[in-house]
């Protein structure tokens, strides 16, 4: 499946705590990517293949890397470090499949993310890091529910627009080297999704692709800002993920006023991103 991306502008917001949706059911909880016993779930090293009892985690490429590590963590003693390789083939996803036909209105993916700044000569925009949500439950295509990305050069938080898949600025940006809490909420009654950053709703739009009837997975994702165009296409970067959780809920997250959302994006570059098979 291809998804077109286009680029826009930035702003900064304050930090607020995000509560998980209530009255819901747990689909998957990484338990902070912590080491556990009975069953053993995560240990230092490559993410793919880990959490075998509840997974395992899969990947679609072997160029970039995701590893469980103990250096940069939000809580506990472990988190996942994602490094995008300096290659036009460096786009990669890591996912755990949890096919779900929603019986409740909302499905939410929440995670903590810490992005290191990419500062390379000739690179105005670094690799994007974030989470996508898919409905890979059947058929020849893999429809995209929604996506949240952080530009590792500017800190801008982007989402993908309905139908076109255009990458659109939320009007917000994060501070580099600091943990932020993200959530992507899918509303199956209205066919829309919302993005939250540190407790504030920063974007809302329709499902990116038509034909969404369920949920399959929400990969940790890194993609280049541009595809085969100059230094941006081969820029490397690093981000960290922790406390990854998927839940369903009868009630929505709090919906405060949107903060500076960009309605009409300024189109600077467009690209298509192909999702490879993850199973």
Task: Please name each of the domains of the chain with its CATH number.
Answer: 2-274 (2.60.120.200)
The mean-pLDDT minimum among 20-24, 98-102, 227-231 falls in: 20-24
- DSSP notation for 187-238: ETTTTEEEEEETTEEEEEEE-SSS----B-B--EEEE-SSSSSGGGGG--EE
Tokens of residue 120, six digits: 């390379």
Calculate mean pLDDT across residues 236-257: 88
Average pLDDT, the chain: 85
What CA–CA distance (Å, rounded) separates 6 from 164? 10
pLDDT digit string (tens) for 48-87?
999 999 999 999 999 999 999 999 999 999 999 999 999 9
19 to 22, 101, 118, 153, 182: CA distances (angstroms): 9, 24, 30, 29, 11
- CB-based contact 185:168 (threshold 8 Å): no
Q: Does the pLDDT value for residue 97 go beyond 80?
A: yes
- Percent of the chain predicted with pLDDT > 90: 72
- Partners of 83 in the β-ladder: 65, 238
The pTM of this model reads 0.86
What CA–CA distance (Å, rounded) separates 115 from 136? 28
| Burial class of 194 by CB neighbour count within 10 A (0 to 12, 13 to 18, 19+) | buried
Q: Does the pLDDT value for residue 272 go beyond 50?
A: no
- CB-based contact 128:220 (threshold 8 Å): no
pLDDT digit string (tens) for 1-16?
434 343 332 222 222 3
């Amino acid at each position: 499946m291809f998804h077109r991306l286009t680029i826009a502008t930035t702003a900064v917001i304050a930090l607020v705590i995000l509560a998980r949706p209530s009255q819901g059911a747990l689909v998957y909880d990484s338990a902070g990517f912590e080491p556990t016993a009975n069953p053993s779930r995560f240990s230092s090293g490559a993410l793919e293949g880990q959490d075998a009892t509840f997974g395992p985690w899969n990947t679609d490429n072997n160029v970039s890397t995701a590893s469980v590590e103990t250096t940069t963590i939000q809580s506990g003693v472990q988190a996942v470090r994602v490094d995008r390789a300096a290659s036009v083939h460096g786009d990669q996803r890591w996912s755990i499949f949890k096919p779900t036909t929603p019986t409740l209105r909302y499905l939410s993916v929440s995670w903590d993310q810490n992005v290191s700044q990419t500062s390379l000569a000739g690179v105005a925009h670094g690799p994007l890091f974030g989470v996508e949500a898919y409905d890979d439950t059947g058929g020849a295509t893999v429809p995209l529910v929604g996506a949240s990305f952080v530009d590792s050069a500017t800190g801008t938080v982007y989402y993908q627009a309905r139908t076109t898949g255009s990458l659109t600025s939320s009007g917000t940006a994060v501070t580099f080297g600091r943990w932020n809490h993200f959530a992507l909420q899918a509303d199956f009654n209205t066919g829309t999704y919302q993005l939250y950053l540190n407790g504030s709703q920063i974007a809302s739009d329709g499902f990116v692709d038509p034909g969404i009837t369920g949920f399959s997975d929400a990969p940790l994702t890194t993609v280049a800002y541009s595809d085969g165009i100059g230094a941006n296409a081969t820029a490397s970067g690093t981000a960290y993920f922790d406390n990854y959780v998927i839940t369903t809920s009868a009630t929505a997250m709090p919906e405060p006023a949107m903060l500076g959302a960009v309605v009409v994006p300024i189109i600077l570059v467009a690209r298509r991103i192909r999702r490879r098979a993850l199973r």
